[in-house]
Amino acid sequence: MTGLKIACRVCSSTTKKFLELGQQPVANRFKDDILSREEKYFLDVVFCPDCFTIQIGKCPDVANVYTDEYPFFTSSSDYMIKHFNELAEYIKRVYLPTFFPVIPGGAREPQANGFIVEIGSNDGTFLKNFTNIPHLGIEPAGNVRSEAIKNGVQCWDSFFDVGVAGAIVQSMGKADVVVSTNVFGHIPNRNSTLQGISDLLKEGGIWINEEAYLGDILEKISYDQFYNEHIFYSTVASFKQALDRHDLGIFDVDFYNVHGGSVRYFVSHKRNMSESAASKKVDHLIDVENLYSFDRLKHFAVEVKRSKHKILGQLHMIKSWGGEIVGYGASAKSTTILNYCGIDRDLIPVIYDTTKEKHHKFCPGTNIQVMPHYHFNGHNPTNVVLFIWNHASEVYKKEGFKERNWIIPIGN
Give the interface with ligand TMP as residue ranges (CB under 6 A).
76-77, 329-333, 353-355, 373, 388, 390-391, 394-395, 398
Find the shortest distance in angstroms from Cβ 376 to ligand TMP.
Answer: 9
Is 30:330 a contact under the CB 8 Å cutoff?
A: yes
Find the shortest distance in angstroms from Cβ 355 to ligand TMP.
Answer: 4
Pairwise CA distance, residues 50 & 16, whole Å: 11
Choice between 95 and 232, CB closer to Zn ion: 232
Out of ligand TMP, Zn ion, none, which partner does residue 108 contact, by CB within 5 to 8 A per kind?
Answer: none
Find the shortest distance in angstroms from Cβ 8 to Zn ion.
Answer: 3
Out of ligand TMP, Zn ion, none, which partner does residue 383 contact, by CB within 5 to 8 A per kind?
Answer: none
Find the shortest distance in angstroms from Cβ 9 to Zn ion.
Answer: 8
Which of 197, 181, 184 is closest to 122 using CA atoms? 181
Which of 324, 391, 384, 315 is closest to 352 using CA atoms? 384
Find the shortest distance in angstroms from Cβ 237 to Zn ion.
Answer: 11
Out of Zn ion, ligand TMP, none, which partner does residue 301 contact, by CB within 5 to 8 A per kind?
Answer: none
Is 381:324 a contact under the CB 8 Å cutoff?
A: yes
Out of 21, 26, 51, 337, the residue judged to bind Zn ion by CB under 5 A: 51
Q: Residue 357: is it exposed, middle or buried by C-beta count within 10 angstroms (0-12/13-18/19+)?
A: middle
Neighbouring-strand partners of residue 4:
none
Query: Does the CA dihedral 409-410-411-412 come out positive or negative?
Result: positive
Query: Collapsing DSSP states into helix, strand and coil, what is residue 163?
Result: helix
Out of ligand TMP, Zn ion, none, which partner does residue 51 contact, by CB within 5 to 8 A per kind?
Answer: Zn ion
- Residues in the chain, total: 412
Choice between 13 and 393, CB closer to ligand TMP: 393
Q: Is 48 in the site for Zn ion (CB under 5 A)?
A: yes
Binding site for Zn ion (CB under 5 A): 8, 10-11, 13, 48, 50-51, 53
